[in-house]
């Protein structure tokens, strides 16, 4: 920490700061400038924060120079991590990390067993190794489809079993986490819930890997602190998911922060994937953005696919269907190897013709 | 709703839209322009949304022209509402609404019985009619003080009883709501939880009045939709609280959106108060902003006060202490009557001298 | 300046930084922490910036702790300034500063001699001491009224002479500044031009007082640096004008940053006024916001008024007309004295009845 | 245009709107809903705007449904354009458009003849076909290097001649445009000047192709309107350049809006390139972002390169030097062909070893 004294601060005020820091067991190094004096603090940052130094007479500013997260920081764990999903109940292990490019695909919401089975086939044919589908969906307005709940969860698990894909679904309420964790291989924490700490507690304790979406309003630091919160509760199997931030630009529902991928990879050892579907809200933007996501060096991509988007109960306008899915599969197979990443072994492009 | 056809849309595409709308029981009125055709829809908006019109060939845009909230809308309930807090357990009734200017004050967190009693006296002397204090505090980093929980709640209730002030405290976890509602007269939903629908469900069902803070990145429409969600669950005793939004300006932790007050009062019948403390993060900004809050026509103000901010376990730098509280009390007594608002009857300025 | 070394920085890297700083004539003080070393620099900041320290091996961050503006800073000139406008050509001197509350009013654009004369009477009757009107208006779209140019300038000057009000108008092109400065008592730099340095050069050299609007995207620091740029060219007669910043909130064209007023008054000695008209874009928001502007402690307010807003060539929906102007005049006369500010001596409310 | 009537609007108010529209030569089609009536207007939008319909009694909202730009719109000119730069003074023609991927590279500022010659060689070796360098640089603070002006311009032209690369440089003042246009093959309008209409006038009249950067807080629509302004003055040789927008995220100086590329390509026929250097501000982010820029389908990329970034007079921390430039060249040669784009014919990777 650095304490910046106000221009007119007296020697006594400087001494008072030093004294308080020393009393708390820290050391203080003073740099006296012509117009300003700054004091570097050495010791336990948490303790310094309790000192309320900013409130002391003559203090202009207190600047924190270390990061407020440790377990998820790359400073402390320089190697990038690989998170393993699945591996139980007969479903294969899927790895998300620096050596892979993982396609996570599925419908916005599970609507029926037929729909999720058909979508799972579509996803798998495109090279997806994880199946995602909404079952307990958060409210966003009275007219939002809130999901099929437990029955949707069973359908999702059945579709995963049928196609050999581990499944991921969102838990939006701490009280649903146990039920969801029984069926799902990975739990998604949605953007609206990134700072819902009751929910973070529950998913941490579930023991399942967590897909942690960035809040639409969250800085990268706040996002990593939410991951730190989960990690502190004993669960380090966290995959971060960038999904766009809120800005003044109205043409897209959110502005995809593509720079967040290399930034997070520099700050944290956790894998990071990107959801271009919800950031862009338009099918015609999803494919170019998916290519950018691969090229920027993301560890994976999350894409909404649906066998018949026009009939989808939610987010139809942004879901990819047959032909687009084939283009996506092809883009992944051509681009990901250039970034030294393994992808699913899709020997032939199996994506069924669109209905 | 209005459907805007793309410049080159064909007559058949226009007819297809009309047909789909009529099939759903709606009516469609067409305006054919030189470069564009637009179609006005009349009927049930919720049904129209399910039609996925935006996905139809030739459709450029679908614009919603009605608001997505009804129960909290002033269009449907033109008179502004007054919310009553307290009135049970020997505590007085306090009214928040267009005829009053309500001061809600207290410490960021309840720290001890002595501290909350002392703060309650300070608040009351300044004209506060509601006592606010954090007991179950949401996590924001590992070093945040998370509150005393149930014992803090008892201290808060005791301080309320001792001073005759109804109390308001935040519930951050749906599972705490019942315990909090037993002691508190009003439940606060914090900015981070504005879209935590499990929590909104629980506070709606508690039967207690709700103080609903605006999310730091929430539009006014999203805020009113969160209120609508609570209202749809049978609880219309909602007071909205503006507390600053996230912008690019770094000198304050949030930018207080003062225009939100008259804007919300035009759109909704619910009372709206303002918290300038957390938006500004600096004690020297709180007083000028509090004056602006009164003058803009807010129904009340929420202020952090603390008998000894230097020792506060949280948010000390922004809490008002003795002398500042006296200035605040004086500002309210001089300005609020000019806006035709009643304030607490503080016969003499009783604020104790700072320690 | 403070140099923060990366966690694994070597002793040699620390020494290299120190050596480079000393070579440039500065001093370096080292604070060695357990996980981080920080180096405080003492000397000429401008020189340190040229050292490219951020590029040196082992350096994680370079943090500037002093402000990049001096002449407009309150650190260097603690007393708040008063700017004098007018005083020549028979027009009175008007003071803008901490002892006054100045109403600057007029139409968005000068449309005809009759219109500006009528508006000037309306403004004066409401207590305005400065008349503002657009003559050389910046383009914002092909359909924007771009003003009458020189003839509008003459009409404005004539209306100022007739009512005894000094006049202020915008210069949007450096090449127009000379012509504008011949007629106007104060030059406005619009929000779009806050960083148009060719224009800032010209207005600085004009010798006239400058009304510097904050860019819709500008931080307070950038705004003060634009003022510093003018000041460095020898013109310190600058009045800052907050007019709203761009945020995600769509109900208003800009979010009025009311906190900017006390923040700027703490950082700079320059007077600061507020334009609530363009921030809110709606007449029904202008009055409550104007009250907030007075109460927050602003040195003045800029209001669009028009005798017949329905016929206005620009910004009609936000201009105040007859009855509203009377309410504004009354609000100023009642609120400003409570803030210890003088206002124009309007012995009777002379505002003419609306047409 | 669509006029939305307020819920309680009377029939007479609806009729008044219709009458006013018809008087102005337009047609009005009414859709009467249960809770709302909307009126679709057909005719000349510019005329309708002059009617001040929003001010009429009973009108809740007026929604524009057409775009405010025509000449640069893809609705009117469906084929994407190719802009030709150079071709005179012995310099080759370079094409920017949908069939190419153009690398524009050079130093933040021209510092000396040696420096710009060396940088031009480096740029050319990496596959650049346009050389960019700052000569008349805009002020951003007193300590910013403002460029060598005319002598820098001559050095840049000499380096262009020596390497056979057309040159592009920024004009920040309308009065410099003529001098700049004599030497440069393309004129850059910087982000701060996107709405400096005096400058846009001058560059439009220069007859040279224009590189129009997006303002840091400009919506895509405002950016296209600035292009429209240039186009209306007879110059359609415009290349748009995305360079990041201002958001709340502090880890990068701006958030690169990668979605803007496909969005602009859908809305406008103009070529669009991206500058990842100034958005990210960090060399280690430039390479991953440059890959994303190629993959998203941009028509080119603008990169700061410098033979010795540590000694650069501006923006050294983000400039690429030797080894990184080789990696960039390789990424372009591998990725661009996958997007069906031609790149410069760089037979061998000639990038010199770093000094």
Q: Say whether B142 and A68 touch across the interface (CB within 8 A).
A: yes
**A220-232 vs A260-267: helix crossing angle, rounded to 10:** 40
Cα torsion B172, B174, B176, B179: sign? positive
* Interatomic CA distance for residues A274 and C154, integer angstroms: 59
Q: Which residue has the higher pLDDT, B257 or C323?
A: B257
Q: Are residues D169 and D56 in the same domain?
A: no
**Tokens, residue B281:** 């993060």
Q: What is the predicted pLDDT for the residue at A350? A: 45
Q: Are residues B89 and B36 in the same domain?
A: no
What residues in D contact B30, CB-CB < 8 Å? Answer: 29, 40
Q: What is the DSSP letter of D255?
A: B
Residue with tokens 């995959």: A239
* Interatomic CA distance for residues A15 and D5, integer angstroms: 67
> Is residue A217 situated within a structural domain?
yes
Q: What pLDDT, in 10s, does the model give residues C46-92?
A: 777 777 787 788 888 887 777 788 899 998 788 999 999 999 877 89
Residue by residue, pLDDT tens for chain B (355 residues) are 788 888 778 889 999 999 988 888 888 888 776 667 888 887 777 777 777 787 788 888 887 777 788 899 998 788 999 999 999 877 899 999 999 999 999 998 999 999 999 999 999 999 999 999 999 877 666 556 678 888 999 999 999 999 999 999 999 899 899 999 999 999 999 999 999 999 999 999 999 999 999 999 999 999 999 999 999 999 999 999 999 999 999 889 899 999 999 999 999 999 999 999 988 888 889 999 999 999 999 999 999 998 887 777 777 778 888 788 889 999 999 999 999 898 876 544 444 444 4
CB proximity D52 to B under 8 Å? no
Q: What is the predicted pLDDT for the residue at B139? A: 65
Q: Are B85 and B186 in contact (CB under 8 A)?
A: yes
* Interatomic CA distance for residues C256 and B261, integer angstroms: 12
**Tokens, residue C92:** 């009175």
CATH code of the domain containing C285:
3.20.20.70
Helix, strand or coil, per DSSP, at residue C56:
coil
> Is residue A190 situated within a structural domain?
yes
**Cα distances (angstroms) measured from residue C64 to each of A8, A36, B314:** 18, 12, 27
Backbone dihedral angles phi then psi of residue B103, each to the nearest 5 degrees:
-100, 120
Residue with tokens 């003055």: D233
Spacing of C-alpha C23 from chain mean position: 41
Q: Are residues B106 and B174 in the same domain?
A: yes
Q: Which residue has the higher pLDDT, D342 or C185?
A: C185
* Interatomic CA distance for residues D189 and D186, integer angstroms: 10
Lowest average pLDDT, out of C232-236, D3-7, D259-263, goes to D3-7
Tell me how many degrees the CA angle B119-B122-B127 measures, rounded to the nearest 5.
125
Most confident of B18-22, C249-253, D116-120: D116-120
Choose, out of A64, A225, A296, the residue to mutate when testing the contact with D (most D CBs < 10 Å): A296
What residues in B contact D33, CB-CB < 8 Å? Answer: 40-43
Residues 6+ apart with CB under 8 A from A327: A287
What residues in A contact B313, CB-CB < 8 Å? Answer: 50
CB proximity A117 to D under 8 Å? no
Q: Which domain holds residue D227?
A: 83-339
Residue D355: Cβ within 10 Å count: 8
Choose, out of C179, C192, C198, the residue to mutate when testing the contact with D (most D CBs < 10 Å): C198
Q: What is the predicted pLDDT for the residue at A354? A: 43
**Tokens, residue D169:** 């440089």
**Tokens, residue B332:** 């309210």
How would residue D34 be classed by pLDDT, with cut points 50, 70 and 90? low
Paired sense of beta strands D130-132 and D167-170, if any: parallel
Backbone dihedral angles phi then psi of residue C25, each to the nearest 5 degrees:
90, 10
Q: Say whether C66 and A32 touch across the interface (CB within 8 A).
A: no
Q: Element (H or E) spanning A276, and its range?
A: helix A276-280
Q: Are residues A91 and A237 in the same domain?
A: yes
- Average pLDDT (C122-140) is 87
Residues 6+ apart with CB under 8 A from B84: B93, B94, B95, B96, B209, B237
Most confident of A278-292, A306-320, D291-305: D291-305
What residues in D contact A261, CB-CB < 8 Å? Answer: 288
> Is residue A327 situated within a structural domain?
yes
Residues 6+ apart with CB under 8 A from A269: A72, A73, A74, A77, A78, A79, A80, A81
Q: Are residues D53 and D157 in the same domain?
A: no
**Cα distances (angstroms) measured from residue B50 to each of A115, B6, B251, B276, C122:** 18, 21, 44, 41, 53
Helix, strand or coil, per DSSP, at residue D71:
coil
Mean pLDDT rounded to a whole number for chain D: 88
* Interatomic CA distance for residues C132 and C184, integer angstroms: 10
* Interatomic CA distance for residues B60 and A100, integer angstroms: 38
Residue of B42, B135, A282, A112 whose CA lies nearest to D263:
A282
Q: Say whether C38 and A248 touch across the interface (CB within 8 A).
A: no
**C220-232 vs C260-267: helix crossing angle, rounded to 10:** 40
The ipTM assigned to this model is: 0.86
Q: Are D294 and D336 in contact (CB under 8 A)?
A: yes
Mean pLDDT rounded to a whole number for chain C: 88
What residues in B contact C279, CB-CB < 8 Å? Answer: 259
**What is the percentage of chain A residues whose pLDDT exceeds 70?**
94
CATH code of the domain containing B11:
3.30.70.1140
Helix, strand or coil, per DSSP, at residue A53:
helix
Q: Say whether A296 and D297 touch across the interface (CB within 8 A).
A: no
**Tokens, residue C22:** 């000393």
Q: Say whether D138 and C316 touch across the interface (CB within 8 A).
A: no
> Is residue B345 situated within a structural domain?
no
Helix, strand or coil, per DSSP, at residue A168:
strand
What residues in B contact D73, CB-CB < 8 Å? Answer: none
C141 pLDDT higher than 70:
no
* Dihedral angle over CA of C112, C117, C118, C122, nearest 10: 130
Q: Which residue has the higher pLDDT, B127 or D349?
A: B127
A282 pLDDT higher than 90:
no
Closest approach of A42 to chain C, Cα-based (Å): 5
Q: What pLDDT, in 10s, does the model give residues A102-135?
A: 999 999 899 999 999 999 999 999 999 999 999 9
**Burial of residue A48 (number of CB atoms within 10 Å: 0-12, 13-18, 19+):** buried
Contacting D residues, span 291-350, partner chain C, CB-CB under 8 Å? 309-313, 316-317
Q: Which of B46, B139, B215 sits opposite A143 (nearest CB)?
A: B46
> Is residue B254 situated within a structural domain?
yes
What residues in A contact D257, CB-CB < 8 Å? Answer: 247, 249, 255
Q: Are residues C179 and C57 in the same domain?
A: no
- Can you give the C-alpha Rg of chain C in angstroms? 24
What residues in A contact C63, CB-CB < 8 Å? Answer: 2, 63, 65
Residue B355: Cβ within 10 Å count: 8
Choose, out of B29, B61, B73, B74, the residue to mutate when testing the contact with D (most D CBs < 10 Å): B29
SS (H, E, C) chain B: CEEEECCCCCHHHHHHHHHHHHHCCCEEEEEECCCCEEEEEECCHHHHHHCCHHHCCCEEEEECCCCCCCCCECCCCCCCCCEEEECCCCCCEEEECCCECEEEEECCECCCHHHHHHHHHHHHHCCCCEEECECCCCCCCCCCCCCCCHHHHHHHHHHHHHHCCCEEEECCCHHHHHHHHHHCCEEEECHHHCCCHHHHHHHHHHCCCEEEECCCCCCHHHHHHHHHHHHHCCCCCEEEEECCECCCCCCCCCECECCHHHHHHHHECCCEEECHHHHHCCHHHHHHHHHHHHHHCCCEEEEEECCCHHHCCCCHHHCECHHHHHHHHHHHHHHHHHHCCECCCCCCCCCCCCC
**What is the percentage of chain D residues whose pLDDT exceeds 70?**
94
DSSP letters of D11-70? HHHHHHHHHHHHHTT-EEEEEE-SS-EEEEEES-HHHHHHTTGGGSTTEEEEE--S-S--
Closest approach of D249 to chain A, Cα-based (Å): 5
Q: Say whether A142 and B311 touch across the interface (CB within 8 A).
A: no
**Tokens, residue C6:** 């990366």
> Is residue B351 situated within a structural domain?
no
Closest approach of B256 to chain C, Cα-based (Å): 7
CB proximity B114 to D under 8 Å? no
Q: Are residues D195 and D314 in the same domain?
A: yes
> Is residue A16 situated within a structural domain?
yes
D143 pLDDT higher than 70:
no
CB proximity B45 to D under 8 Å? no
What residues in B contact A227, CB-CB < 8 Å? Answer: none
Q: Which residue has the higher pLDDT, C141 or B338?
A: B338
- Average pLDDT (D145-157) is 87
Alpha helices in D64-196 (DSSP H): 113-125, 150-163, 177-183
Tell me how many degrees the CA angle C219-C5-A76 measures, rounded to the nearest 5.
100
Q: Are A320 and A127 in contact (CB under 8 A)?
A: no
Residues in chain D, overall count: 355
Residue of A84, A102, A101 whose CA lies nearest to A93:
A84
* Interatomic CA distance for residues C121 and C350, integer angstroms: 9
How would residue D313 be classed by pLDDT, with cut points 50, 70 and 90? confident
> Is residue B132 situated within a structural domain?
yes
Helix, strand or coil, per DSSP, at residue C250:
coil
Q: Are A169 and A190 in contact (CB under 8 A)?
A: no
Q: Structural domain tally of chain C?
A: 2
Q: Are residues B89 and B28 in the same domain?
A: no
Q: Are residues D44 and D171 in the same domain?
A: no
Q: What is the predicted pLDDT for the residue at D142? A: 57
Neighbours of chain C (3+ CB pairs under 8 A): A, B, D
Q: Are residues C131 and C242 in the same domain?
A: yes
Q: Are B60 and B4 in contact (CB under 8 A)?
A: yes
* Interatomic CA distance for residues D105 and C72, integer angstroms: 38
Contacting D residues, span 212-271, partner chain A, CB-CB under 8 Å? 217, 219-221, 245, 247-252, 255-263, 266
Q: Are residues B114 and B261 in the same domain?
A: yes
* Interatomic CA distance for residues D125 and D163, integer angstroms: 10
C7 pLDDT higher than 80:
no
Q: What is the predicted pLDDT for the residue at C34? A: 65
Cα torsion C240, C246, C250, C253: sign? positive
- Average pLDDT (D249-272) is 95
What residues in C contact B63, CB-CB < 8 Å? Answer: none
Q: Say whether D334 and A338 touch across the interface (CB within 8 A).
A: yes
Q: Are residues B15 and B111 in the same domain?
A: no
Q: Say whether C40 and A35 touch across the interface (CB within 8 A).
A: no
Q: What pLDDT, in 10s, does the model give residues A47-91?
A: 777 777 877 888 888 877 777 888 999 987 889 999 999 998 778
Q: Are C316 and D55 in contact (CB under 8 A)?
A: yes
Q: What pLDDT, in 10s, does the model give residues C252-277?
A: 989 999 999 999 999 999 999 999 99
């Amino acid at each position: 920490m650095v304490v910046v004294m106000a221009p007119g601060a007296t020697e006594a005020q400087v001494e008072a700061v030093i004294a308080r820091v020393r009393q708390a067991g820290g050391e203080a190094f003073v740099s006296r400038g012509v117009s300003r004096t700054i004091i570097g603090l050495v010791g336990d940052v948490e303790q310094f924060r309790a000192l309320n130094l900013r409130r002391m007479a003559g203090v202009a500013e207190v600047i924190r120079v270390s990061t407020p997260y440790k377990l998820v920081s790359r400073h402390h764990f320089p190697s990038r991590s690989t998170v393993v999903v699945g591996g139980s109940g007969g479903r294969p292990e899927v790895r998300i990390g620096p050596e892979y490019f993982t396609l996570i695909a599925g419908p916005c919401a599970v609507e029926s067993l037929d729909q999720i089975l058909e979508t799972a086939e579509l996803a798998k044919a495109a090279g997806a190794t994880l199946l995602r589908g909404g079952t307990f969906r958060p409210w966003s307005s009275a007219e939002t489809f809130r999901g099929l709940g437990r029955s949707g969860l069973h359908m999702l698990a059945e579709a995963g079993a049928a196609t050999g894909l581990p499944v991921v679904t969102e838990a939006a309420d701490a009280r649903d986490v146990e039920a969801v964790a029984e069926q799902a291989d990975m739990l998604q924490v949605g953007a609206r819930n990134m700072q819902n700490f009751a929910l973070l507690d529950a998913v941490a304790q579930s023991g399942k890997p967590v897909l942690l979406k960035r809040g639409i309003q969250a800085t990268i630091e706040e996002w990593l602190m939410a991951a730190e919160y989960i990690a502190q509760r004993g669960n380090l199997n966290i995959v971060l998911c960038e999904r766009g931030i809120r800005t003044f630009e109205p043409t897209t529902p959110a502005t995809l922060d593509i720079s967040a991928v290399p930034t997070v990879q520099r700050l944290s050892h956790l894998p990071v994937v990107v959801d271009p579907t919800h950031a862009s809200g338009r099918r015609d933007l999803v494919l170019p953005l998916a290519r950018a996501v691969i090229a920027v060096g993301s560890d994976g991509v999350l894409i909404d696919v649906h066998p018949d988007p026009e009939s989808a109960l939610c987010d139809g306008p942004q879901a990819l269907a047959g032909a687009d899915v084939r283009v996506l599969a092809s883009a992944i197979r051509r681009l990901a190897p250039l970034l030294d990443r393994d992808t699913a072994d899709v020997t032939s492009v199996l994506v069924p013709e669109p209905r």
